[in-house]
Amino acid sequence: RQSLVERRFILHYQPQVDARGQLIGAEALVRWQHPTRGLVSPASFIPLAESSGLILHLGRLILHSACEQLVAWAQDPQLKQLTLAVNVSARQFHHPDFVADVCAALAESGADPRRLELELTESQLVEDVENLISKMSQLKAHGIHLALDDFGTGYSSLSYLKRLPLDQLKIDQSFVHDLLEQPSNAAIVRTILALGDNLGLSVTAEGVETQAQFEALQQMGCRRFQGYLFAKPGPASALAQWPATG
């Protein structure tokens, strides 16, 4: 609570690249600048923020900073085309004010909704389908893009998936990690790419760490990539040095 007041939560950005390795967007990843523990990873405080309800406040702060970053990029001819992906937690998404909160962040900052992408996870999509689709459609009507994060690790059924107004699937990094060692993972990656193709969704491979993985993914038809091979998440200033697709 104290850290929220003291604005100790900051966003790092991880580049997303195309097959030529050129910058097409970034994902915002929150970090906690803890007074004694240093930079704390979201994996260790997001679950706590969720269970305590603080995620609502934190989530709004994250959306606001992300939108401000989009506005800063819009001033730069090299960066104005970039999309920015923001992770949304289940509790935040299911809050009745969520759509209004996103719209407020966009309106107050002046950010272009078409550059904003919200990342949802499969587990948060299991509740009340009609309500879910209506909420997603409202966001889409504003021009916001929607991605399904960590795809393949949850329980979404395919008949369900085709009803959701999504734009993108993100292949979970666990499949990418053992892509070259485990034929079953390669088969899963191929299947997700084919599924994306058939449903008209773009597909991003997450957790690409080696050139060999990058090449194998390209051969399978993947066109969007994110991972340590290209860059680790870092402050916004680090992104400005990237060659971007014009």
| Residue numbers at the binding site for ligand C2E (CB under 6 A) | 14, 28-30, 41-43, 46, 62, 87-89, 119, 149-150, 173, 206-209, 226-228, 233
227 touches which of Mg ion, ligand C2E, none (CB within 5 to 8 A by kind)? Answer: ligand C2E
Strands (E) in 35-143, as ranges, are: 38-40, 83-87, 116-121
By beta-carbon distance, which residue lies closest to ligand C2E? 227
Angstrom distance (rounded) from CA 8 to CA 32: 6
70 touches which of ligand C2E, Mg ion, none (CB within 5 to 8 A by kind)? Answer: none
- The CA–CA distances, whole Å, from 106 to 54, 71, 81, 109, 123 equal 21, 10, 17, 5, 26
Tokens coding 40: 């704390």
Stretch that binds Mg ion, among 58-66, 80-88, 89-97, 134-142 (CB under 5 A): 80-88
User: To the nearest whole angstrom, how small is the minimum distance from the Cβ of residue 180 to ligand C2E?
Assistant: 14
Stretch that binds Mg ion, among 16-24, 111-119, 137-145, 224-232 (CB under 5 A): 111-119
Q: Tell me which H or E stretch contains 211.
A: helix 211-219
- Quick check: 150 binds Mg ion (CB under 5 A)? yes
- Quick check: 117 binds Mg ion (CB under 5 A)? no
For residue 244, the 8-state DSSP code is B
- Per the CB < 8 A criterion, the answer to whether 180 and 151 are in contact is no
46 touches which of ligand C2E, Mg ion, none (CB within 5 to 8 A by kind)? Answer: ligand C2E
112 touches which of ligand C2E, Mg ion, none (CB within 5 to 8 A by kind)? Answer: none
- Per the CB < 8 A criterion, the answer to whether 67 and 105 are in contact is yes
Q: What is the CA radius of gyration of the chain?
A: 18
Residues 215-244 that bind Mg ion (CB under 5 A): none
Residue 146, burial from CB neighbour count under 10 angstroms (0-12, 13-18, 19+):
buried
End-to-end CA distance of the chain: 42
User: To the nearest whole angstrom, how small is the minimum distance from the Cβ of residue 154 to ligand C2E?
Assistant: 12
Side-chain-side CA neighbours of 242 within 13 Å: the count stands at 30
User: To the nearest whole angstrom, how small is the minimum distance from the Cβ of residue 246 to ligand C2E?
Assistant: 25
User: To the nearest whole angstrom, how small is the minimum distance from the Cβ of residue 91 to ligand C2E?
Assistant: 9
42 touches which of Mg ion, ligand C2E, none (CB within 5 to 8 A by kind)? Answer: ligand C2E
Binding site for Mg ion (CB under 5 A): 87, 119, 149-150, 206
